[in-house]
Structure 1
Amino acid sequence: MNKIKEFVKKYKVPLIVGTFVLLLAVAYFAGLHRANTKVADQQPTQVSQELLDNVNALQNKLNISEQNANLLRTALDKVQAGKTQPAANYYVTAPTVERAATIVEKQIAANDPTLPPAALEKTDRTVVTPITKDTAGQVLPVDQQKVDVYKINLRKDHRIKAGVTVVDSTAYETIGYEQSRVEALAHFSGTNFKGGSVMYNVAEW
Protein backbone atom coordinates (compact mmCIF):
# COMPACT_ATOMS: atom_id res chain seq x y z
CA MET A 1 0.00 0.00 0.00
CA ASN A 2 2.84 2.39 0.85
CA LYS A 3 4.49 1.64 -2.48
CA ILE A 4 1.28 2.57 -4.26
CA LYS A 5 1.03 5.85 -2.32
CA GLU A 6 4.67 6.65 -3.11
CA PHE A 7 4.13 5.85 -6.78
CA VAL A 8 1.02 8.08 -6.93
CA LYS A 9 2.83 10.89 -5.10
CA LYS A 10 5.90 10.65 -7.35
CA TYR A 11 3.95 10.51 -10.60
CA LYS A 12 0.96 12.61 -9.59
CA VAL A 13 1.08 15.07 -12.50
CA PRO A 14 1.66 12.44 -15.25
CA LEU A 15 -1.15 10.34 -13.77
CA ILE A 16 -3.54 13.31 -13.80
CA VAL A 17 -2.57 14.22 -17.36
CA GLY A 18 -2.79 10.59 -18.49
CA THR A 19 -6.21 10.12 -16.89
CA PHE A 20 -7.53 13.30 -18.44
CA VAL A 21 -6.11 12.43 -21.87
CA LEU A 22 -7.66 8.97 -21.57
CA LEU A 23 -11.02 10.50 -20.73
CA LEU A 24 -10.77 12.83 -23.71
CA ALA A 25 -9.78 9.91 -25.97
CA VAL A 26 -12.79 7.92 -24.80
CA ALA A 27 -15.03 10.95 -25.37
CA TYR A 28 -13.50 11.48 -28.82
CA PHE A 29 -14.02 7.90 -29.96
CA ALA A 30 -17.51 7.87 -28.47
CA GLY A 31 -18.22 11.03 -30.45
CA LEU A 32 -16.77 9.46 -33.60
CA HIS A 33 -18.98 6.39 -33.14
CA ARG A 34 -21.95 8.66 -32.56
CA ALA A 35 -21.18 10.57 -35.76
CA ASN A 36 -21.16 7.30 -37.70
CA THR A 37 -24.64 6.44 -36.41
CA LYS A 38 -26.00 9.97 -36.80
CA VAL A 39 -27.11 9.42 -40.40
CA ALA A 40 -29.12 6.36 -39.37
CA ASP A 41 -30.69 8.25 -36.47
CA GLN A 42 -31.74 11.05 -38.81
CA GLN A 43 -33.79 8.72 -40.99
CA PRO A 44 -37.56 9.15 -40.46
CA THR A 45 -39.15 6.81 -37.92
CA GLN A 46 -42.83 5.93 -37.87
CA VAL A 47 -44.30 6.09 -34.36
CA SER A 48 -47.92 5.26 -33.58
CA GLN A 49 -50.18 7.86 -32.01
CA GLU A 50 -50.49 5.74 -28.83
CA LEU A 51 -46.71 5.71 -28.29
CA LEU A 52 -46.49 9.50 -28.39
CA ASP A 53 -47.78 9.52 -24.80
CA ASN A 54 -45.18 7.04 -23.55
CA VAL A 55 -41.82 8.57 -22.55
CA ASN A 56 -40.11 5.17 -22.29
CA ALA A 57 -41.35 4.17 -25.73
CA LEU A 58 -40.13 7.45 -27.24
CA GLN A 59 -36.75 7.02 -25.56
CA ASN A 60 -36.30 3.49 -26.92
CA LYS A 61 -37.86 3.98 -30.34
CA LEU A 62 -35.88 7.15 -31.12
CA ASN A 63 -32.68 6.19 -29.25
CA ILE A 64 -32.67 9.36 -27.14
CA SER A 65 -31.98 10.19 -23.49
CA GLU A 66 -34.73 10.22 -20.87
CA GLN A 67 -34.32 13.99 -20.54
CA ASN A 68 -34.82 14.48 -24.28
CA ALA A 69 -37.79 12.08 -24.25
CA ASN A 70 -39.45 14.13 -21.49
CA LEU A 71 -38.80 17.40 -23.37
CA LEU A 72 -40.22 15.83 -26.53
CA ARG A 73 -43.30 14.59 -24.69
CA THR A 74 -43.94 18.15 -23.43
CA ALA A 75 -43.55 19.59 -26.94
CA LEU A 76 -45.88 16.96 -28.42
CA ASP A 77 -48.52 17.83 -25.81
CA LYS A 78 -48.51 21.42 -27.13
CA VAL A 79 -48.81 20.21 -30.72
CA GLN A 80 -51.72 17.89 -29.93
CA ALA A 81 -53.46 20.62 -27.93
CA GLY A 82 -53.26 22.90 -30.98
CA LYS A 83 -50.88 25.37 -29.29
CA THR A 84 -48.26 24.79 -32.00
CA GLN A 85 -49.27 25.20 -35.62
CA PRO A 86 -47.69 23.13 -38.43
CA ALA A 87 -44.96 24.77 -40.50
CA ALA A 88 -46.50 23.32 -43.68
CA ASN A 89 -49.38 21.21 -44.95
CA TYR A 90 -49.45 18.92 -47.98
CA TYR A 91 -51.59 16.09 -49.30
CA VAL A 92 -50.83 12.44 -50.09
CA THR A 93 -53.21 10.06 -51.87
CA ALA A 94 -53.50 6.71 -50.08
CA PRO A 95 -56.25 4.18 -49.16
CA THR A 96 -55.61 4.55 -45.39
CA VAL A 97 -53.85 7.01 -43.12
CA GLU A 98 -51.40 4.27 -42.09
CA ARG A 99 -50.49 3.74 -45.73
CA ALA A 100 -50.13 7.51 -46.15
CA ALA A 101 -47.70 7.57 -43.20
CA THR A 102 -45.57 4.89 -44.86
CA ILE A 103 -45.54 6.88 -48.13
CA VAL A 104 -44.53 10.07 -46.31
CA GLU A 105 -41.80 8.23 -44.41
CA LYS A 106 -40.32 6.91 -47.67
CA GLN A 107 -40.59 10.33 -49.35
CA ILE A 108 -38.66 12.01 -46.54
CA ALA A 109 -36.01 9.26 -46.54
CA ALA A 110 -35.57 9.78 -50.29
CA ASN A 111 -35.48 13.60 -49.97
CA ASP A 112 -38.41 13.83 -52.39
CA PRO A 113 -38.27 17.38 -53.87
CA THR A 114 -42.09 17.51 -54.09
CA LEU A 115 -42.28 17.74 -50.29
CA PRO A 116 -42.33 21.13 -48.52
CA PRO A 117 -38.87 22.32 -47.32
CA ALA A 118 -40.05 22.00 -43.69
CA ALA A 119 -40.52 18.24 -44.14
CA LEU A 120 -37.00 17.83 -45.58
CA GLU A 121 -35.23 19.97 -42.98
CA LYS A 122 -32.19 18.18 -41.51
CA THR A 123 -32.81 17.54 -37.81
CA ASP A 124 -31.63 15.07 -35.16
CA ARG A 125 -34.80 12.99 -35.46
CA THR A 126 -37.85 12.89 -37.73
CA VAL A 127 -41.05 11.23 -36.49
CA VAL A 128 -43.94 10.30 -38.78
CA THR A 129 -47.23 9.55 -37.01
CA PRO A 130 -50.64 8.61 -38.43
CA ILE A 131 -53.26 10.53 -36.43
CA THR A 132 -56.51 8.57 -36.20
CA LYS A 133 -57.93 9.82 -32.87
CA ASP A 134 -58.81 13.17 -31.33
CA THR A 135 -57.47 14.46 -27.99
CA ALA A 136 -60.29 12.63 -26.17
CA GLY A 137 -59.25 9.30 -27.71
CA GLN A 138 -62.24 9.07 -30.07
CA VAL A 139 -61.67 7.77 -33.61
CA LEU A 140 -61.73 10.62 -36.11
CA PRO A 141 -63.83 10.51 -39.29
CA VAL A 142 -61.70 9.29 -42.21
CA ASP A 143 -61.64 12.75 -43.84
CA GLN A 144 -60.17 14.25 -40.63
CA GLN A 145 -57.42 11.69 -40.16
CA LYS A 146 -53.95 12.90 -41.06
CA VAL A 147 -50.22 12.23 -40.89
CA ASP A 148 -48.09 14.38 -38.60
CA VAL A 149 -44.37 14.88 -39.21
CA TYR A 150 -42.32 16.07 -36.24
CA LYS A 151 -38.86 17.52 -36.89
CA ILE A 152 -36.86 17.22 -33.66
CA ASN A 153 -33.55 18.73 -32.55
CA LEU A 154 -32.25 17.20 -29.34
CA ARG A 155 -30.52 18.76 -26.38
CA LYS A 156 -26.86 17.70 -26.65
CA ASP A 157 -25.62 15.98 -23.46
CA HIS A 158 -21.88 15.70 -24.29
CA ARG A 159 -19.52 18.49 -25.36
CA ILE A 160 -15.78 18.66 -26.04
CA LYS A 161 -14.33 22.18 -25.78
CA ALA A 162 -11.08 23.92 -26.66
CA GLY A 163 -9.92 27.43 -25.81
CA VAL A 164 -7.44 29.61 -23.95
CA THR A 165 -7.22 30.49 -20.25
CA VAL A 166 -5.29 33.57 -19.10
CA VAL A 167 -3.93 33.66 -15.54
CA ASP A 168 -1.66 36.54 -14.39
CA SER A 169 -1.02 37.55 -18.01
CA THR A 170 0.04 34.00 -18.90
CA ALA A 171 -1.99 32.20 -21.55
CA TYR A 172 -2.67 28.46 -21.31
CA GLU A 173 -4.23 26.20 -23.91
CA THR A 174 -7.34 24.63 -22.42
CA ILE A 175 -9.28 21.53 -23.37
CA GLY A 176 -12.45 20.40 -21.67
CA TYR A 177 -15.24 17.89 -21.55
CA GLU A 178 -18.79 18.64 -20.43
CA GLN A 179 -21.64 16.28 -19.66
CA SER A 180 -24.95 17.63 -18.43
CA ARG A 181 -24.12 20.05 -15.59
CA VAL A 182 -20.48 19.07 -14.96
CA GLU A 183 -17.47 20.39 -16.90
CA ALA A 184 -13.81 19.34 -16.50
CA LEU A 185 -10.95 21.46 -17.88
CA ALA A 186 -7.21 20.83 -18.26
CA HIS A 187 -4.73 23.69 -18.76
CA PHE A 188 -1.46 23.33 -20.71
CA SER A 189 1.51 25.47 -21.60
CA GLY A 190 2.70 23.77 -24.75
CA THR A 191 2.78 20.11 -23.72
CA ASN A 192 3.25 20.88 -20.02
CA PHE A 193 0.20 20.27 -17.85
CA LYS A 194 -0.36 23.28 -15.57
CA GLY A 195 -3.55 22.38 -13.73
CA GLY A 196 -7.18 21.48 -14.01
CA SER A 197 -10.61 22.82 -13.17
CA VAL A 198 -13.96 21.21 -12.47
CA MET A 199 -17.09 23.32 -12.75
CA TYR A 200 -20.71 22.58 -12.00
CA ASN A 201 -23.72 24.49 -13.32
CA VAL A 202 -25.66 25.65 -10.27
CA ALA A 203 -28.41 27.28 -12.34
CA GLU A 204 -29.75 26.75 -15.86
CA TRP A 205 -32.42 28.56 -17.89
Structure 2
Amino acid sequence: MDADTSRALLSRAIARVTNRDSDALKYVYRHTSAKLFGVCLRILNDREEAEDVLQDVYLSVWNKADRFDPEKASPITWLVSMARNRSIDKLRARGGRVMAGVEEAEALPDTAPLASTLVETDEDRLRLNGCLDQLDPKHAGAVRTAFFEGVTYDALAQMIGVPLGTMKSWIRRSLISLRACLEA
Protein backbone atom coordinates (compact mmCIF):
# COMPACT_ATOMS: atom_id res chain seq x y z
CA MET A 1 0.00 0.00 0.00
CA ASP A 2 1.42 3.41 -0.92
CA ALA A 3 1.78 6.42 1.40
CA ASP A 4 -1.14 8.34 -0.14
CA THR A 5 -3.51 5.42 0.40
CA SER A 6 -2.25 5.02 3.97
CA ARG A 7 -2.81 8.72 4.69
CA ALA A 8 -6.31 8.52 3.22
CA LEU A 9 -7.20 5.50 5.36
CA LEU A 10 -5.88 7.19 8.48
CA SER A 11 -7.78 10.40 7.64
CA ARG A 12 -11.01 8.44 7.16
CA ALA A 13 -10.47 6.63 10.46
CA ILE A 14 -10.05 9.95 12.29
CA ALA A 15 -13.22 11.21 10.61
CA ARG A 16 -15.06 8.12 11.88
CA VAL A 17 -13.79 8.80 15.40
CA THR A 18 -15.88 12.01 15.37
CA ASN A 19 -18.91 9.69 15.35
CA ARG A 20 -17.57 7.82 18.41
CA ASP A 21 -16.49 4.82 16.36
CA SER A 22 -14.24 2.88 18.76
CA ASP A 23 -13.01 0.58 15.98
CA ALA A 24 -11.76 3.64 14.10
CA LEU A 25 -9.89 4.81 17.21
CA LYS A 26 -8.35 1.33 17.52
CA TYR A 27 -7.20 1.61 13.89
CA VAL A 28 -5.64 5.03 14.52
CA TYR A 29 -3.95 3.73 17.67
CA ARG A 30 -2.64 0.57 15.99
CA HIS A 31 -1.10 2.51 13.11
CA THR A 32 0.33 5.47 15.03
CA SER A 33 1.01 4.56 18.65
CA ALA A 34 4.61 3.40 18.17
CA LYS A 35 5.57 6.62 16.41
CA LEU A 36 3.75 8.86 18.89
CA PHE A 37 5.18 6.99 21.87
CA GLY A 38 8.65 7.51 20.40
CA VAL A 39 8.00 11.26 20.15
CA CYS A 40 6.76 11.44 23.75
CA LEU A 41 9.59 9.31 25.11
CA ARG A 42 12.23 11.26 23.24
CA ILE A 43 10.99 14.56 24.70
CA LEU A 44 10.24 13.38 28.24
CA ASN A 45 12.96 10.76 28.64
CA ASP A 46 10.67 8.95 31.10
CA ARG A 47 8.71 5.89 30.01
CA GLU A 48 5.88 6.28 32.53
CA GLU A 49 5.33 9.95 31.71
CA ALA A 50 5.47 9.17 27.98
CA GLU A 51 2.78 6.51 28.44
CA ASP A 52 0.60 8.97 30.36
CA VAL A 53 0.98 11.63 27.69
CA LEU A 54 0.27 9.10 24.93
CA GLN A 55 -2.96 8.09 26.67
CA ASP A 56 -3.86 11.77 26.94
CA VAL A 57 -3.19 12.24 23.21
CA TYR A 58 -5.62 9.46 22.25
CA LEU A 59 -8.20 10.82 24.66
CA SER A 60 -7.85 14.14 22.82
CA VAL A 61 -8.24 12.36 19.48
CA TRP A 62 -11.45 10.78 20.80
CA ASN A 63 -12.79 14.15 21.97
CA LYS A 64 -11.40 16.45 19.29
CA ALA A 65 -11.24 14.39 16.09
CA ASP A 66 -13.62 16.90 14.48
CA ARG A 67 -10.79 19.47 14.60
CA PHE A 68 -8.65 17.46 12.20
CA ASP A 69 -8.65 18.98 8.72
CA PRO A 70 -6.98 16.77 6.09
CA GLU A 71 -6.69 19.83 3.84
CA LYS A 72 -4.36 21.53 6.34
CA ALA A 73 -2.18 18.65 7.52
CA SER A 74 -1.57 14.96 7.09
CA PRO A 75 -3.02 12.82 9.87
CA ILE A 76 0.41 11.82 11.21
CA THR A 77 1.52 15.47 11.26
CA TRP A 78 -1.57 16.40 13.28
CA LEU A 79 -1.04 13.53 15.71
CA VAL A 80 2.71 14.08 16.12
CA SER A 81 2.10 17.77 16.72
CA MET A 82 -0.41 16.92 19.44
CA ALA A 83 1.99 14.42 21.06
CA ARG A 84 4.89 16.88 20.87
CA ASN A 85 2.89 19.74 22.37
CA ARG A 86 1.49 17.60 25.20
CA SER A 87 4.96 16.27 25.97
CA ILE A 88 6.43 19.77 26.09
CA ASP A 89 3.58 20.87 28.38
CA LYS A 90 4.35 17.93 30.69
CA LEU A 91 8.06 18.79 30.62
CA ARG A 92 7.33 22.40 31.52
CA ALA A 93 4.96 21.34 34.30
CA ARG A 94 7.69 19.35 36.00
CA GLY A 95 10.13 22.24 35.52
CA GLY A 96 12.50 20.19 33.44
CA ARG A 97 14.42 21.02 30.35
CA VAL A 98 15.82 18.80 27.70
CA MET A 99 19.56 19.19 27.90
CA ALA A 100 21.50 18.61 24.74
CA GLY A 101 24.69 20.20 23.58
CA VAL A 102 24.52 22.60 20.67
CA GLU A 103 27.04 20.43 18.84
CA GLU A 104 24.54 17.58 18.94
CA ALA A 105 21.76 19.65 17.39
CA GLU A 106 23.13 19.36 13.87
CA ALA A 107 23.29 15.57 13.80
CA LEU A 108 20.40 14.25 15.87
CA PRO A 109 19.55 10.69 14.87
CA ASP A 110 15.94 9.65 14.54
CA THR A 111 15.78 6.58 16.77
CA ALA A 112 12.02 6.64 17.30
CA PRO A 113 10.32 3.43 16.24
CA LEU A 114 8.32 3.58 13.03
CA ALA A 115 4.61 2.90 13.39
CA SER A 116 4.59 1.17 10.03
CA THR A 117 5.28 1.87 6.42
CA LEU A 118 1.62 2.90 6.22
CA VAL A 119 2.35 6.05 8.19
CA GLU A 120 5.80 7.21 7.18
CA THR A 121 7.96 6.15 4.30
CA ASP A 122 11.71 6.22 3.94
CA GLU A 123 11.26 8.46 0.92
CA ASP A 124 9.48 11.12 3.01
CA ARG A 125 12.22 11.03 5.64
CA LEU A 126 14.98 11.28 3.03
CA ARG A 127 13.20 14.19 1.39
CA LEU A 128 12.81 16.03 4.71
CA ASN A 129 16.46 15.42 5.60
CA GLY A 130 17.49 16.65 2.15
CA CYS A 131 15.49 19.84 2.65
CA LEU A 132 16.93 20.30 6.15
CA ASP A 133 20.43 19.88 4.71
CA GLN A 134 19.79 22.83 2.39
CA LEU A 135 19.32 25.16 5.36
CA ASP A 136 22.10 27.01 7.16
CA PRO A 137 23.59 24.39 9.54
CA LYS A 138 22.78 26.46 12.66
CA HIS A 139 19.19 26.93 11.54
CA ALA A 140 18.77 23.26 10.60
CA GLY A 141 20.20 22.25 13.98
CA ALA A 142 17.76 24.57 15.74
CA VAL A 143 14.80 23.12 13.81
CA ARG A 144 15.89 19.56 14.54
CA THR A 145 16.40 20.28 18.22
CA ALA A 146 13.08 22.12 18.59
CA PHE A 147 10.94 19.66 16.68
CA PHE A 148 12.68 16.31 17.21
CA GLU A 149 13.80 16.81 20.81
CA GLY A 150 11.04 19.10 22.06
CA VAL A 151 13.32 21.87 23.29
CA THR A 152 11.40 25.15 23.62
CA TYR A 153 12.48 28.15 21.59
CA ASP A 154 13.42 29.96 24.80
CA ALA A 155 15.60 27.10 26.06
CA LEU A 156 17.15 26.69 22.61
CA ALA A 157 17.97 30.42 22.40
CA GLN A 158 19.65 30.21 25.80
CA MET A 159 21.60 27.07 24.83
CA ILE A 160 22.91 28.67 21.64
CA GLY A 161 23.33 32.13 23.16
CA VAL A 162 21.09 34.16 20.86
CA PRO A 163 18.11 36.38 21.70
CA LEU A 164 14.70 34.68 21.74
CA GLY A 165 13.51 36.86 18.84
CA THR A 166 16.45 35.72 16.74
CA MET A 167 15.68 32.08 17.47
CA LYS A 168 12.02 32.55 16.55
CA SER A 169 13.08 34.22 13.28
CA TRP A 170 15.49 31.40 12.46
CA ILE A 171 12.83 28.77 13.05
CA ARG A 172 10.11 30.70 11.19
CA ARG A 173 12.29 31.35 8.12
CA SER A 174 13.54 27.76 8.19
CA LEU A 175 9.99 26.38 8.28
CA ILE A 176 9.02 28.58 5.34
CA SER A 177 12.05 27.29 3.41
CA LEU A 178 11.23 23.70 4.35
CA ARG A 179 7.64 24.08 3.18
CA ALA A 180 8.80 25.46 -0.18
CA CYS A 181 11.35 22.68 -0.55
CA LEU A 182 8.88 19.93 0.34
CA GLU A 183 6.19 21.31 -1.98
CA ALA A 184 8.61 21.54 -4.92
Q: Same fold (TM over 0.5)?
A: no
Structure with the higher strand share, 1 or 2: 1
Query: TM-score range, shorter-chain basis?
Result: under 0.3
Q: Which has the larger radius of gyration?
A: 1
TM-score, normalised relative to structure 2 = 0.25
Structure with the higher helix share, 1 or 2: 2
TM-score, normalised relative to structure 1 = 0.23
